Amino acid sequence: MAEQKIPVVQEPDPGHAEPMIVAIPYPGQGHINPMMRLCMRLASKGALIRIVVTEEWLSFMTSAQEPPPNVRLLSIPNVIPSELSRAADWVGFVQAVNSTMEEPVDRLIDSIEPMVSVIVADVYMPWVADMAKRRGIPVTWLFPMAATVFSVFYHCEVLLSKGHFPANSSANKEEYVDYIPGVSPTRILELPNLFKGGESREIAESLKFFHQIQNAKSILFNSFYELEPSAIDALSSLVPRPIFPVGPLIPFPAPKDHELKTNARPELDCSSWLDSQPHGSTLYVSLGSVMLVPAKQMEELAHGLIESVTRFIWVAREPSINLRDMCTDRGLVVPWCSQSKVLRHPSVGGFLTHCGWNSTVEGVLTGVPMLTFPIYFDQQTNSKLIVDDWKVGLRVRSGPMDEMEVVDRREIANVVRRLMEGEESKEMRRRIEELREAGEKALEKGGSSDANMNDFLKSLRS
Ligand code: UDP
């Protein structure tokens, strides 16, 4: 069957005894992807799923198969700025999500039958807690980042009391924080920078975030036990709610799952170019779906890649410089691609990433070692996990992006060569292969994440 737009079907499924789950993803590419994958897994285990997205997001979704009968996509009007331009006014976008979505979602929930057992929502939409409370419906949060990052946020007050937060005012950003349960010593520079500005409003927001957790039914993580055992063990004993690491929430390697494509941008098929490259020769470069990198840094990156003499595929959404002209026939520049497909291609031997959590997990599950180029938020902490904890990558830069601090082309060329060839590179490949296998096993029947998914459903049925 050809790929098709997903129809909106709103009729209830009569007489079904399975739990009714209403999923509310945060309307952004990096949040929609794991929530949709979670929904498809839950649906494959029998749950009734209703997914609430904006009309714009609905129009982006395609599928090669009929959607499973127990899944329905429901839409609300486009009350927020478009996904394709949200980076231009990040604060405005966040404010719109916080102030305009609740009312239409609330109205939509009235039309859902049978009765809703639970709302599964992205933790970055705190208004869901108030709406669900009014309706007497329990909420399970999907935390779309690393369990390690959750532990840092969870201990925000301790960080505050020790003067290690906000990072900007810290005297020594190179100082290590070594008291966060389940988190190995981390430089202040590499803590998540939700803690950046230090305005009291921002601090209050981060604390509010964790009050939501206290009232939740449970918390789902897009991680698996074997990837972050210390953080998950620590959180299991500290958080007063059940936690279920059910990741990796990726479109593979579970081909039995229904795959719903959730790309906001049309993807360019890179297969024929990749087919013509030698095995393991190509570096895949992608800096995510949100932030843009300053022109000067893009230029150094381009020169660095050219000097490194590696082959590369570069996803540049809106390049601030003319990359296509600069890149030689060893480099392909595309506006968007199917990242999961590209990473799985045998010609790809490295991944230069901004360390968004989805990209990090996708890199691990394809066994591709990484060069870390964090930009903001949780990305520098993910970079630290990749390089220091798992030892499956090298840093290009660390800490949140600072426009004044540009990584120079020679440094870039050097680190690219170290990733792509030599003994150090072989060792990273060996280690990431072990993590990849562990991730696959976690999803198999009886694996840690599969068991957690079953336990989560059991908690709804009981
Ligand atoms: N992605 C993609 N094609 C691209 C670039 C990104 O499919 O050309 C996907 C990627 O696979 C990931 C998501 O977009 O699932 C980005 O999420 P992530 O958490 O890595 O970063 P964010 O964009 O949220 O910063």
pLDDT for 213: 83
pLDDT for 291: 75
Nearest to 86 by CA among 138, 27, 147: 27
pLDDT in tens, 9-41: 444 444 447 899 999 999 999 999 999 999 999
The response to whether residue 290 sits with its C-beta less than 6 Å from ligand 1 reads yes
Q: Thinking of the domain 277-438, which architecture would CATH place it in?
A: 3-Layer(aba) Sandwich (3.40)
pLDDT for 250: 87
Length of the chain as a residue count: 462
Q: 277-438: same fold as 20-262+444-461? A: yes
Q: Where are the domains of the chain?
A: 20-262+444-461, 277-438
pLDDT tens string, the chain, 462 residues long: the values are 344 455 444 444 444 478 999 999 999 999 999 999 999 999 999 999 999 999 999 999 877 677 788 999 999 999 999 998 888 888 889 889 989 999 999 999 999 987 899 999 999 898 999 999 999 999 999 999 999 999 998 888 888 888 887 665 556 888 999 999 999 999 999 998 764 444 455 555 656 667 778 889 999 999 999 999 999 999 999 999 999 999 999 875 544 556 677 888 888 889 999 999 999 999 999 998 887 788 899 999 999 999 998 999 999 987 667 777 777 778 999 999 999 999 999 999 999 999 999 999 999 999 999 999 999 889 999 999 999 999 999 999 998 888 778 999 999 999 999 999 999 999 999 999 999 999 999 999 999 999 999 999 999 987
pLDDT for 195: 47
- Protein residue closest via CA to atom 1 of ligand 1: 339
β-strands 331-334, 393-395 pairing: unpaired
Distance CA 359, CA 286 (A): 9
- Protein residue closest via CA to atom 21 of ligand 1: 356
pLDDT for 193: 76
pLDDT for 171: 62
Q: Ligand 1 centre and the CA of 349: distance in Å?
A: 18
Task: Let me know: does 118 contact 48? Beta carbons within 8 Å.
Answer: no
Task: Let me know: does 57 contact 32? Beta carbons within 8 Å.
Answer: yes
According to DSSP, the residues that pair with 120 across neighbouring strands are 23, 140
Give the number of other Cβ atoms within 10 Å of residue 403's Cβ: 9
Contacts of residue 290, defined as CB under 8 A and 6 or more positions apart, other chains included, come to 28, 29, 30, 86, 87, 90
Rounded to the nearest angstrom, the gap between the alpha carbon of residue 53 and the centroid of all alpha carbons in its chain is 18
pLDDT for 94: 87
pLDDT for 113: 83
Distance CA 281, CA 221 (A): 33
Question: Distances in Å between the alpha carbon of 11 and those of 15, 50, 52, 74, 420?
Answer: 13, 11, 14, 10, 53
Block residue for tokens 């490949």: 429
Block residue for tokens 């210390």: 230
According to DSSP, the residues that pair with 332 across neighbouring strands are 313
The response to whether residue 289 sits with its C-beta less than 6 Å from ligand 1 reads yes
H-run or E-run covering 343: helix 339-344
The response to whether residue 337 sits with its C-beta less than 6 Å from ligand 1 reads yes
β-strands 71-76, 4-5 pairing: unpaired
3-state secondary structure 269-288: CCHHHHHCCCCCCEEEEECC
Distance CA 31, CA 298 (A): 26
- Protein residue closest via CA to atom 24 of ligand 1: 30
The response to whether residue 75 sits with its C-beta less than 6 Å from ligand 1 reads no
Identify how many contiguous H helices and E strands the chain contains and give both numbers: 18, 18
Nearest to 302 by CA among 326, 276, 269, 270: 326
Q: Ligand 1 centre and the CA of 13: distance in Å?
A: 33
Distance CA 61, CA 444 (A): 27
Ranges of beta strands (E only) in 253-405 are 260-261, 282-286, 311-315, 331-334, 348-353, 370-372, 393-395
The response to whether residue 356 sits with its C-beta less than 6 Å from ligand 1 reads yes
Q: Ligand 1 centre and the CA of 260: distance in Å?
A: 15
pLDDT for 162: 86
Distance CA 121, CA 51 (A): 10
What predicted TM-score, i.e. pTM, was given to this entire model? Answer: 0.93
Task: Let me know: does 327 contact 308? Beta carbons within 8 Å.
Answer: no
CATH pick for 20-262+444-461 out of 3.40.630.10, 3.40.50.2000, 3.30.420.40, 3.40.50.2300: 3.40.50.2000
- Protein residue closest via CA to atom 15 of ligand 1: 358
The response to whether residue 313 sits with its C-beta less than 6 Å from ligand 1 reads no
Q: Please give the structure tokens belonging to residue 239.
A: 């958080």
Q: What are phi and psi of 304, to 5 degrees?
A: -60, -45
pLDDT for 63: 73
pLDDT for 207: 61
pLDDT for 168: 59
The response to whether residue 377 sits with its C-beta less than 6 Å from ligand 1 reads no
Pocket mutation for ligand 1, best pick of 31, 339, 379 (most atoms within 8 Å of C-beta): 339
Distance CA 1, CA 424 (A): 45
